[in-house]
Amino acid sequence: MEAISHAGTAAGVLTKEGIILIGVQLATNPLLEPTNEKIFKINSQAACAVAGITSDATNLLDLARKRSLNHTLDFDQEIPLEHLVSTFCDTKQHYTQVGGQRPFGVSFLFGGWDEHYGYQLYLTGPAGNYGGWKATAIGKNSRSSLACLRQDYTDTLTLEEGKVLALKAIAKSLDTASLNADIIEMMTLTRDVNRRPGQQIVQTVLEKEEIKNLIEVHKEELVKKDDEDDEEN
């Protein structure tokens, strides 16, 4: 839990048009090649955001991808998201009971779509517990992000409004006064019914320039929100 509370914040927002996953990289270097450290694709219908020990996250991501592929080979269709999360958490829970092994020090936000329940967002903890959410956050200062999500989330959010809310939630978790697009990763999962079955989910990783433009367009709104919070306090 300590590793998760010190990791860069990650958040997820469920909207009627799709899902937004967002994460913050705490350590960046301009000399490094751009890489994804917070958000990862699992299969054609699901992705996840992570907060915690990177090596643990890598091992568990491999596990989730292998189980997804095995299901596809056996049944010729993508694994239902809740079934994937459930079996994934069984492994995490097992490591809390076996002697000589420690629990995985990482939390995940799973976002995806399937034909059974549509768009879904799940949070999984180190102990193997999981639950469905409309919007939530994990990582450093996640309580501040959760307070923002509780206050501003509505069931009628569009995808664009969800992006703005996700940015607001991340802004609340940062110690800086303004958002920096260079440390933010964002992905959207939407459905295109015109595509062939099995390929209808579109996973879009936003470029830094897109995130920068999004921040710039809604800059006044973000600043206004901070000012209102200061007045309330």
Cβ pair 4, 107 in contact under 8 A: yes
Spatial CA neighbour of 20 closest among 147, 142, 133, 140: 133
* Owning domain of residue 180: 2-232
CA distance 231 to 147: 16
Rounded to 5°, angle at Cα 105 from 103 and 107 = 115
What mean pLDDT is predicted for residues 130-137? 97
pLDDT above 70: residue 10: yes
> One-letter amino acid identity for 196?
R
DSSP E strand boundaries for the chain: 10-14, 19-24, 39-43, 46-52, 106-114, 118-124, 130-132, 135-138, 184-191, 201-205
Helix (H) or strand (E) holding 208: helix 208-217
Q: What is the predicted pLDDT for the residue at 230?
A: 47
Cβ pair 141, 9 in contact under 8 A: yes
What mean pLDDT is predicted for residues 35-49? 93
Q: What is the predicted pLDDT for the residue at 170?
A: 94
Spatial CA neighbour of 215 closest among 223, 204, 203, 226: 223
Please report, to the nearest 10 degrees, the dihedral formed by the alpha carbons of residues 10, 5, 227, 229 taken in order: 110
pLDDT above 90: residue 177: no
pTM of the model: 0.91
Cβ pair 8, 140 in contact under 8 A: yes
Domains in the chain, number: 1
64-123 confidence digits (pLDDT tens) = 999 999 999 999 999 999 999 999 999 999 999 888 889 999 999 999 999 889 999 999
CATH number of 178's domain: 3.60.20.10
